[in-house]
Structure 1
Amino acid sequence: MAREAMDAWTKKLRQIYGVYTGVFVLFVIALWIAEGMGLPPKYIGYAFLFGTIGVYAAIGILSRTSVVAEYYVAGRKVPAVFNGMATASDWMSAASFIGMAGALYLRGYDGLAFIMGWTGGYVLLAVMVAPYIRKFGQFTIPDFLEARYGGKLPRMIGILSAIIVSFAYLIAQITGVGIITSRFVGIPFEAGVFLGLTGILVCSFLGGMRAVTWTQVAQYIILIVAYMIPVVAISYKQTGIPIPQLMYGQALQVIETKQKELVNDAKEIEVRQEWKKKANEIAAKIKGLPDTWQKERAELEEKLRNTPADSPDRAKVEKALKDYPKTSEEAKEKWTAAMKQAEAMSKPPKSYVAPPTDTKGIVNFLALTFCLMVGTAGLPHVLMRFYTTPTVREARSSAAWALFFIFLLYFTAPAYAAFARSEILTNVVGQAFSALPAWVAKWASVGLISIKDMNGDGIIQFSEIIIQADAVVLATPEIAGLPYVVAGLIAAGGLAAALSTADGLLITISNAISHDLYYKIINPNISPSTRVKIGKALLIVVAAIGAYVASFKLAIIVELVAWAFSLAAATFFPAVVLGIWDKRMNKAGAVSGTIVGLLVTAYYIIGSRFYGVNWFGINTIAAGIFGLPANLIVALVISRLTAAPSQELQEFVDNIRYPKGAIRGGLEE
């Protein structure tokens, strides 16, 4: 695009999205007024959910296309600032919006690994990868791998890695969508997953990357507004100053003071002893497997037979039997997780602001930070975004803009976590169980909050409160007593974050199959329109499979995302970075390294999560710390023991290393 046309296009986009932002703010104000006039909360939830999805659907319909370049890379005409917003939205998934503040709430200082890793990774991406990927052009990362290393095998390995990494990440987003829709529309989680699936597809089905890009810009505006307003309101409520990023130090002081008091509190000690007793009971059940599993199942079945069909208790017994482990192996997994949680609850709260002091804690903190950082620079759905800019310069600028837009949320997340924990310690702990607020039952119904009177004194102790990480951001407005419209706004923001990333991931997976596999390998003679049709069909298939898997709720969102980052760190990052910066790297080295990295990381994720594998005390979420070095060592050794790349491939590397390209039409190519 010529510079004048590009400037005019940018100006038009600013006007469109400026009006859109104003209308959204008026929409929120109108709902706030309606709530004050008596509008029931459920209708506010409906308005936010279906109103925002309706807007995304409209953008998707208006952006429909069958043009290959538009469908795969948005016509390469997305200005830097808007590509930055779309990239930030694509990047700030349900893990960032919903899970990150929750991780900080639960882990305190240890949770900063997520912020440091993700932010540092984006700097790494902007400096070492993004401009060079854009200079290469084409549509996907497997395109780059084939061009850089030669032959179809690198492409096949890239396709496999893209599908595995993106699918793990996709499950996390659909899980987030299910949590939000089930809570704010009042339907079961499993149904919420498939309802959210509809929202995901309307954003991407008709227009591919073109529709996803302009939808993601709209979603970023909603998610950042939704994230800021509640924490600003809570900051004003607690400190009198509506600048949470500067004022959450007061909340940290409250947290530290309160938690020190809890260490020696007699009632808290009673509850912790109850948790220790429970942990020992579960340990005994695990030791007695499979007999204990069979005995408990038989007791539930007998209880069901003896409970009349019209009894109010029958539904509870049926649910208990339905949720009971299907096998002794599943029982061991669930009971082990419950035992670990009970053991953790039996310990006094540690300092919220102190860094880890033990070697294991420090090593895990650094390992997780490293995996998230390197994984960021290897995520295929993020790398694809840099193909959509008009020039290499715009790609570099869009990376800087994306970092700024990401910073706005990441700089606020610690404040959100601190104010939420302070609110719990100040206004929930010490209250009577008979006066439990309504939000407890609402969030308990989706399994994210549990408050049980462990010592039977009728008073809520801190050690009796279990809040899952995924609930912190979504529930805090209600916990703080803010108007329900704020909770609805948060739900809309979380939905925008999950949908935007899910759209990018769906495009990545469907492109890997339709473009990289079918068109590039199986049938190169397929027509452009058929390529797009196959891509659209695959969107539906992949989305349906993802929703089905997510309905089982395999893990919390942050854990699922961390697995995806570890896999990306151990597969794509070495292949792409060495492909750009190591002229001696060849096909044999890149392919062998990627396979080894994938296998080692997948083995540790599965082994440590389900089978007790433990290498040097490293947590499951940092599994990439083993796969990445294995990839690098194998790739470097094998590439040096085999023939060097051809002169043509080495010249290709020289070419993409210079991000400033030829000048054509007034803009860099």
Structure 2
Amino acid sequence: MDQTILNYIVVGLSFALYFGIAIYARAGSTGEFYVAGGGVPPVMNGMATAADWMSAASFISMAGLIATVGYNNSTYLMGWTGGYVLLAMLLAPYLRKFGKFTVPEFIGDRFYSQTARVVAVVCLIVISVTYVIGQMTGVGVTFARFLETDATTGLFIGSGVVFFYAVLGGMKGITYTQVAQYVVLITAYTIPAIFISLNLTGNPVPPLGLFSEHTASGQPLLMQLDQLVTDLGFSAYTSQSGSLLNMTLFTMSLMIGTAGLPHVIIRFFTVPKVSDARWSAGWALVFIALLYLVAPAVGAMARLNVIDTIYRGPISTVESALPYEERPQWIKNWEQTGLITFEDKNGDGRIQYYNDKNAAFNETAQTYGWAGNELTVNNDILVLANPEIANLPGWVVALVAAGGLAAALSTAAGLLLAIASAISHDLIKSVINPRISESGELLAARISMAGAIALATYLGLNPPGFAAQTVALAFGLAAASIFPVLMMGIFSKRVNSTGAIAGMLAGLIITVGYVFTYLGMFFLPGTNLLPNDAANWLFGISPASFGTVGAIVNFAVAYVVSNATEAPPKHIQDLVESVRIPRGAGAATGH
């Protein structure tokens, strides 16, 4: 059977499954639309949370970034996993104890201020819109290759799928759809990894294969990879390079950003009681670990396969480089998407792939007759291309296509629900029209969801960077704005509304300002005011790492302003005291 037809069949079946679930689990009330009626079991909620969490960045980009850079990009794994520990221990049970629908609702009630609530809505929308760009990038990349459509058409198709099950089902429909999407994406990720690990090391367990002997060379796989990449002028795959301060701040930004992501936090409002919130976080970690333990192996093996594809012998000999006309089918396939490009700079008709940014190695490369790197490979394709690189069966390629779409669509749905809930519940219901009926609010929520999908599709047409890099910036914004105010709202009785508002605005403004200054990634892409390189960064801190600084500013401003102004009312202090004792909770009230 033709590979494209097989891809359409597998992807089409997965879409049919999502549609069926959405029709079966459609929301009939605001409680079902916002928090799935508050009755989702912990194991199911953990699985849905894992799907909500493991976005296109986790499925598509993370292993690609690890493949390209190596050890340094393990920060993604450490930061994202550590963030879930923070979320489980410090936030989830306490927020569930409070018993509300949304993050802005908690902030507005805890800080007894509609202004605080509105500022939280603004922060949530900026975070979620930034995050959803990465998902739309993933949808476009996947459709462009596997279903042979252009990226724009792919975005419209993906948006239509999300529109159907998210607008119809709300959180109830999204929850059950995400359970199915988790099964699809984890299967799609691990099966190719098992095949590739067997091919390269003879070990069917990818995390163990990473530390096993490379069958072809007879030496440990990572040692073989280190030798190959250093022979091509790259840093050793297992070495740490760059600023340790920047690496630490980036990891911390991902950790506290994870614990402050609104679309993840609202998942813990869907369980029946407080203890279930903690169990949900624990199960989510288990389900996430099934992919995250495999990702480093996928990245390393993908890098090794790419190099082995291009060089067929000692790298320093002219004849070892692959003639372009003999390039494998997988390169031809991905060239059609524009995500792999070749430029024959020395006119020899062969593919030279090396680090031409390494001045010392360039002198050596010139002795080989090389005139610059000739092959450019987009990070986002490596996981998707892995089955083709390793010559795996066609059904595995189709499964990866379905998995990549499941990862992107599941997270996009969660983000869009967070945006829609903030607009309909926290702005329309609480600020603009408090007397709106439940049916009117449900209609407003669905209209808000449709509008959010339209905005996400528009922004996805011109994404500002790799999916994982864009998502990392969203984490920085969550770290700088939402996480501190949630922590202070739970653990400090002294922080008042004035301090919370000042802190959120300070953290958000300084972080967006820093990112805009160096990257221009928001609102006006390409308008960075200063060159985006380490020599120009403030104290060597990259824009993606600046969320930690923004969080520190948020905490500091909130405490200084709070201590300079009147303490919160007694009933608010009593409320904080009661929330810190997470024993027993009824259903979410939504009031």
Q: TM-score, normalised by structure 2?
A: 0.89
Residue 465 of structure 1, CA deviation? 2.7
The alpha-carbon distance between structure 1 residues 129 and 606, as it changes in their structure 2 partners (threshold 3 A), is same
1:193-231 C-alpha deviation (Å, 9 max, x unpaired): 111101211221111000000000010011000000001
Is the CA contact 2:197–2:203 (under 8 Å) kept in the aligned structure 1? yes
Confirm whether residue 452 of structure 1 aligns to residue 324 of structure 2: no
Is the CA contact 1:440–1:450 (under 8 Å) kept in the aligned structure 2? no
2:465 is matched with which residue?
Answer: 555
2:113 is matched with which residue?
Answer: 151
1:521-568 C-alpha deviation (Å, 9 max, x unpaired): 111111111111111112111111110111012211011101110000
Which secondary structure state, in structure 1, belongs to the residue aligned with residue 70 of structure 2? Answer: helix
Q: Identity percentage over the alignment?
A: 43
**What does 1:131-530 correspond to in 2, within 5 Å?**
131-249=93-211, 250-262=220-232, 348-356=233-241, 358=242, 361-429=243-311, 430-463=321-354, 464-530=374-440
1:616-643 C-alpha deviation (Å, 9 max, x unpaired): 2222222213311111110111111111
Is the CA contact 1:91–1:501 (under 8 Å) kept in the aligned structure 2? yes
Residue 146 of structure 1, CA deviation? 1.2
Residue 448 of structure 1, CA deviation? 1.9
Is the CA contact 2:202–2:209 (under 8 Å) kept in the aligned structure 1? no
Residue 422 of structure 1, CA deviation? 1.0
Is the CA contact 1:450–1:465 (under 8 Å) kept in the aligned structure 2? yes
Q: Which amino acid in the other structure matches residue 621 of structure 1?
A: A
Q: Residues of 2 paired with 1:396 and 1:146: CA distance?
A: 24
1:71-98 C-alpha deviation (Å, 9 max, x unpaired): 1100111000000000010011100010
1:285-328 C-alpha deviation (Å, 9 max, x unpaired): xxxxxxxxxxxxxxxxxxxxxxxxxxxxxxxxxxxxxxxxxxxx
- Equivalent residue in structure 2 for 1:540, among 443, 447, 450: 450
1:159-206 C-alpha deviation (Å, 9 max, x unpaired): 111111011111111111111112111111111111110121122111
Q: Which amino acid in the other structure matches residue 387 of structure 1?
A: F
Residue 473 of structure 1, CA deviation? 0.4
1:580 is matched with which residue?
Answer: 490
**What does 1:639-658 correspond to in 2, within 5 Å?**
639-658=562-581
2:550 is matched with which residue?
Answer: 627
Q: How many residues align?
A: 538
Q: Residues of 1 paired with 2:336 and 2:245: CA distance?
A: 37
Moved over 3 A (4+): none
Confirm whether residue 606 of structure 1 aligns to residue 516 of structure 2: yes
Is the CA contact 2:133–2:456 (under 8 Å) kept in the aligned structure 1? yes
Q: Which amino acid in the other structure matches residue 172 of structure 2?
A: R
Q: Residues of 2 paired with 1:662 and 1:484: CA distance?
A: 50
1:50 is matched with which residue?
Answer: 12
1:8 is matched with which residue?
Answer: none
Is the CA contact 2:48–2:179 (under 8 Å) kept in the aligned structure 1? yes
Which secondary structure state, in structure 2, belongs to the residue aligned with residue 450 of structure 1? Answer: strand
Q: Residues of 2 paired with 1:663 and 1:379: CA distance?
A: 24
Residue 577 of structure 1, CA deviation? 0.6
2:31 is matched with which residue?
Answer: 69
Which secondary structure state, in structure 1, belongs to the residue aligned with residue 538 of structure 2? Answer: coil
1:315-372 C-alpha deviation (Å, 9 max, x unpaired): xxxxxxxxxxxxxxxxxxxxxxxxxxxxxxxxx211110112x5xx222211210110
Q: Which amino acid in the other structure matches residue 13 of structure 2?
A: G
Q: Residues of 1 paired with 2:192 and 2:444: CA distance?
A: 42
Q: Which amino acid in the other structure matches residue 288 of structure 2?
A: I
Q: Residues of 2 paired with 1:251 and 1:197: CA distance?
A: 41
Confirm whether residue 596 of structure 1 aligns to residue 478 of structure 2: no
Which secondary structure state, in structure 2, belongs to the residue aligned with residue 462 of structure 1? Answer: coil
Q: Residues of 2 paired with 1:447 and 1:393: CA distance?
A: 49
Q: Which amino acid in the other structure matches residue 255 of structure 1?
A: L
Segments of 5+ residues of structure 1 without an aligned counterpart are 1-38, 263-347, 665-669
1:35 is matched with which residue?
Answer: none
Segments of 5+ residues of structure 2 without an aligned counterpart are 212-219, 312-320, 355-373, 520-527, 531-535
Q: Residues of 1 paired with 2:79 and 2:69: CA distance?
A: 15
Residue 461 of structure 1, CA deviation? 2.4
- Equivalent residue in structure 2 for 1:83, among 45, 54, 65: 45
Q: Residues of 1 paired with 2:262 and 2:155: CA distance?
A: 24
Q: Residues of 1 paired with 2:295 and 2:489: CA distance?
A: 35
Is the CA contact 2:273–2:585 (under 8 Å) kept in the aligned structure 1? no
1:601-627 C-alpha deviation (Å, 9 max, x unpaired): 000111111221621222222221331
1:287 is matched with which residue?
Answer: none
User: Which one has a larger percent helix, Structure 1 or Structure 2?
Assistant: 1
Q: Residues of 1 paired with 2:65 and 2:287: CA distance?
A: 21
Which secondary structure state, in structure 2, belongs to the residue aligned with residue 138 of structure 1? Answer: coil
1:351-405 C-alpha deviation (Å, 9 max, x unpaired): 110112x5xx222211210110010000000000000000101111010000111
Q: Residues of 1 paired with 2:309 and 2:573: CA distance?
A: 64
Which secondary structure state, in structure 2, belongs to the residue aligned with residue 227 of structure 1? Answer: helix
1:29 is matched with which residue?
Answer: none
Is the CA contact 1:159–1:512 (under 8 Å) kept in the aligned structure 2? yes
Residue 423 of structure 1, CA deviation? 0.8
1:288 is matched with which residue?
Answer: none
Q: Residues of 1 paired with 2:56 and 2:423: CA distance?
A: 25
Residue 662 of structure 1, CA deviation? 5.7
Confirm whether residue 113 of structure 1 aligns to residue 83 of structure 2: no
Is the CA contact 1:562–1:621 (under 8 Å) kept in the aligned structure 2? yes
Is the CA contact 2:131–2:471 (under 8 Å) kept in the aligned structure 1? yes
Residue 663 of structure 1, CA deviation? 8.2
Which secondary structure state, in structure 2, belongs to the residue aligned with residue 466 of structure 1? Answer: strand
Is the CA contact 2:99–2:586 (under 8 Å) kept in the aligned structure 1? no
Q: Which amino acid in the other structure matches residue 576 of structure 1?
A: L
Residue 65 of structure 1, CA deviation? 2.1
2:217 is matched with which residue?
Answer: none
Q: Residues of 1 paired with 2:143 and 2:303: CA distance?
A: 25
Is the CA contact 2:274–2:585 (under 8 Å) kept in the aligned structure 1? no
Which secondary structure state, in structure 2, belongs to the residue aligned with residue 104 of structure 1? Answer: helix
Residue 466 of structure 1, CA deviation? 2.0
1:92 is matched with which residue?
Answer: 54
Q: Which amino acid in the other structure matches residue 307 of structure 2?
A: L
The alpha-carbon distance between structure 1 residues 251 and 455, as it changes in their structure 2 partners (threshold 3 A), is farther
The alpha-carbon distance between structure 1 residues 662 and 66, as it changes in their structure 2 partners (threshold 3 A), is closer
Q: Residues of 2 paired with 1:255 and 1:563: CA distance?
A: 30
Is the CA contact 1:255–1:425 (under 8 Å) kept in the aligned structure 2? no
Is the CA contact 2:6–2:395 (under 8 Å) kept in the aligned structure 1? yes
Q: Residues of 1 paired with 2:222 and 2:397: CA distance?
A: 23
Which secondary structure state, in structure 1, belongs to the residue aligned with residue 349 of structure 2? Answer: coil
The answer to which of 426-435 and 488-497 deviates more is 426-435
Which secondary structure state, in structure 1, belongs to the residue aligned with residue 376 of structure 2? Answer: strand
Residue 46 of structure 1, CA deviation? 0.7
Confirm whether residue 659 of structure 1 aligns to residue 582 of structure 2: yes
